[in-house]
Structure 1
């Protein structure tokens, strides 16, 4: 893969408000679905190359590096 389609993680959005992070991820990869989840949520283990999970703390900020999967 090359260009923006190769981006698979977003360490630069950790600490940002969830909505700002979502917009950055979608700007880089408009082909993915961004899923917001509270930190500690149980998730399925299957890999989905078109999904980015964003774990958000109680303050509404990104708590972990979002990545494809």
Structure 2
């Protein structure tokens, strides 16, 4: 089975983009060319992933230091 984007030849990725607190983004697919949101159907904040994200901890520390 293939997705609609695959069948139509649309440039896309099957991974999920993680949006980080510092404004960065990364894709969960190791072969993804870039984390452009338009290429991905799934986009989540990094703090919603199981186990959290190291950038979330860093942002929390910086907020408490202020």
Q: Same fold (TM over 0.5)?
A: no
Q: Greater Rg, structure 1 or structure 2?
A: 2
Structure number having the greater helix percentage: 2
Give TM-score scaled by structure 2 length.
Answer: 0.25
Structure having greater relative contact order (Cα 8 Å, sep ≥ 6)? 1
Give TM-score scaled by structure 1 length.
Answer: 0.24
